[in-house]
């Protein structure tokens, strides 16, 4: 399971390790790894033009020492000194190897640009001349390689508050930084390469983690010889309306494909007819009054996709949330609880699956602020509301109070189409009904949903129903992952 850490956690581990090593050892380890990645990207090092953007901190020193190594292999290395001070030993080593100090105009001629402007301790918008140099690097033709974290990206949160370097590759030292895994920062990091500099035993518990296929394989339930449809989990789905019949069809489809032993669907006449026609496997209950007594016993509920927000829907939501089983709330269900947060006062677990706009309504925040700091707001919502949060979007974040946040590494931009969230609700709900906790159901559901989206799209547009159809293939992929 890849793990990531805040800047303070990394600095603490570095200080503990440096106390046991000769001075400069960590910087030389970092520079060696950085130079190796740069050489690999260049292919042929001799005669290639490399520009180092050098700030005042240790990242600037890493860049200078890496530049020295490339210069000794025949590269033409120019250093643009942007900071108020420069790592003297690193600059001397570069000059002794044949490197030069240059003006910013060298950036446009470079085959490769090394961003060593600011390090992991930087916060807020880049100041001049760093902001201008970041923009010039972005506009240049050369491959951009960031040292540790792209300048302008907050290493601890992924915030980007102004101009930032957009790297093709980020070479990060010792451990992943949280800001490299969470958007918007992740979008600036490109391909992240981890260099082992020996921090391992000095690192604390992680700030953020990302599930792998093996992690999901070990978590998802599998039927045994004694299994029957009831032991495999019965999921109730309260979704759909006369206006949004498809939401019910997609949520039930995600649940059935996600391994639930039985799906009990409850809804009004129009969506009931659609679910019956599309999914004869589901047990369907036509609701006149917003009551669930006739539905039968379930192990978990999915509440909200396409349900509507009228009084009838509110009463149905209240009945579902009054049960003693886990409930996943999505879409219109989130609108209902945003207007009446008393609905969330329950002893049983709750998993919410909002996008940024829905979360904004729930916690009375601005959508743009949530997009700029997804991790921070997902954690805030989990603590404030007492629920598990699966925040959908460019980076899917799972947050639960007292546990490391999880980010999802699967998915594809093709999933940004109507109805895919309904499939995710059904899939994660099925995992809840099969006994997973909200935290595990959310993280496994997001992983499988993203993988199903990739398999369904295969580089082309998809429809939400395609994602549901691809869920079994996604499950096969992770269950066959090597040990």
Which residues are documented as binding site for (6S)-NADPHX? Answer: 58-62, 119-125, 130, 148, 247, 306, 355, 422
CA 120 to each of CA 42, 57, 89, 151, 175: distance values in angstroms, whole numbers, following the listed order = 26, 10, 21, 9, 12
For every residue of 342-411, DSSP letters joined together read GGG--SS-EEE---HHHHHHHHT--HHHHHHTHHHHHHHHHHHHTSEEEE-SSS-EEE-TTS-EEE----
CA distance 208 to 2: 9
Q: Report how far Cα 453 is from the mean position of its chain's Cα atoms.
A: 15
Tokens describing residue 106: 């060298």
The sheet with strand 327-329 has its strands ordered as 176-177, 3-5, 208-209, 405-407, 397-399, 388-391, 350-352, 327-329, 300-303, 234-238, 262-267, 283-286
CA distance 271 to 277: 10
Classify residue 384 as exposed, middle or buried by CB count within 10 Å of its CB (0-12, 13-18, 19+): middle
Q: Which residues are annotated as a binding site for K(+)?
A: 59, 115, 151
CA distance 174 to 161: 25
Q: Indicate the angle between helix axes 58-72 and 25-42, nearest 10 degrees.
A: 50
Residue with tokens 């947060």: 341
Tokens describing residue 346: 């329950």
CA distance 454 to 471: 10
Residue with tokens 């946040």: 405
Q: Which residues are annotated as a binding site?
A: 58-62, 115, 119-125, 130, 148, 151, 247, 306, 355, 392-396, 421-422
3-state secondary structure of 317: helix
CA distance 365 to 363: 6
Tokens describing residue 80: 């643009």
CA distance 47 to 69: 14
CA distance 355 to 288: 31
Per the CB < 8 A criterion, the answer to whether 3 and 176 are in contact is yes
CA distance 358 to 389: 12
Exposure pattern of 443-469 as b/e (b: 16+ CB <10 Å)?
Answer: bbbbbbbbbbbbbbbeeeebebbbbbb
Q: Which residues are annotated as a binding site for AMP?
A: 392-396, 421
Q: Can you give the length of the chain in residues?
A: 483
């Amino acid at each position: 399971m890849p793990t990531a850490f805040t800047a303070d956690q990394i600095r603490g581990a570095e200080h503990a390790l440096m106390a046991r090593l000769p001075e400069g050892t960590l910087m030389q380890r970092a520079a060696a790894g950085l130079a190796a990645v740069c050489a690999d990207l260049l292919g042929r090092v001799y005669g290639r033009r490399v520009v180092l953007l050098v700030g005042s901190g240790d990242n600037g020193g890493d860049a200078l020492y890496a530049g020295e190594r490339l210069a000794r292999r025949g590269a033409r290395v120019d250093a643009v000194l942007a900071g108020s001070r420069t790592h003297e030993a690193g600059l001397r080593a570069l000059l002794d190897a044949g490197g030069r100090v240059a003006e910013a105009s060298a950036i446009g001629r470079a085959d490769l640009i090394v961003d060593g402007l600011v390090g992991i301790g930087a916060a807020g918008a880049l100041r001049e001349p760093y902001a201008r140099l970041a923009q010039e690097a972005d506009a240049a033709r050369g491959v951009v390689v960031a040292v540790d974290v792209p300048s302008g990206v907050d290493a601890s949160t992924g915030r980007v508050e102004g101009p930032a370097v957009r790297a093709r590759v980020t070479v990060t030292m010792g451990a992943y930084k949280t800001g490299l895994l969470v958007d918007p920062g992740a979008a600036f990091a490109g391909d992240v390469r981890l260099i082992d500099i020996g921090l391992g035993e000095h690192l604390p518990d992680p700030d953020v983690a990302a599930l792998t296929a093996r992690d999901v394989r070990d978590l998802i339930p599998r039927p045994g010889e004694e299994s029957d449809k009831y032991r495999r989990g019965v999921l109730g789905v309260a979704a759909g309306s006369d206006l949004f019949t498809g939401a019910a069809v997609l949520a039930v489809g995600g649940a059935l494909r996600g391994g639930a032993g039985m799906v009990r669907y409850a809804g009004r006449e129009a969506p009931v007819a659609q679910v019956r026609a599309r999914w004869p496997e589901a047990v369907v209950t036509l609701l006149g009054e917003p009551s669930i007594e006739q539905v039968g016993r379930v192990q978990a509920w999915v509440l909200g996709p396409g349900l509507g927000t009228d009084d009838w829907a509110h009463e149905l939501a209240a009945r579902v949330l009054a049960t003693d089983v886990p409930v996943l709330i999505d879409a219109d269900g989130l609108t209902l609880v945003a207007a009446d947060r008393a609905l969330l006062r329950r002893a049983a677990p709750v998993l919410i699956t909002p996008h940024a706009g829905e979360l904004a309504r729930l916690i009375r925040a601005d959508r743009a602020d949530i997009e700029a700091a997804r991790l921070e707001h997902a954690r805030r919502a989990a603590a404030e509301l007492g629920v598990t949060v699966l925040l959908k979007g460019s980076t899917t974040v799972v947050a639960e109070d007292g546990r490391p946040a999880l980010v999802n590494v699967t998915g594809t931009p093709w999933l940004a189409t109507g109805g895919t969230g309904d499939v995710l609700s059904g899939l994660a709900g099925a995992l809840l009904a099969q006994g997973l906790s909200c935290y595990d159901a959310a993280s496994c559901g997001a992983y499988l949903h993203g993988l199903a989206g990739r398999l369904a799209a295969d580089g082309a547009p998809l429809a939400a129903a395609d994602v549901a159809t691809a869920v079994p293939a996604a499950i096969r992929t992770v269950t066959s992952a090597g040990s």
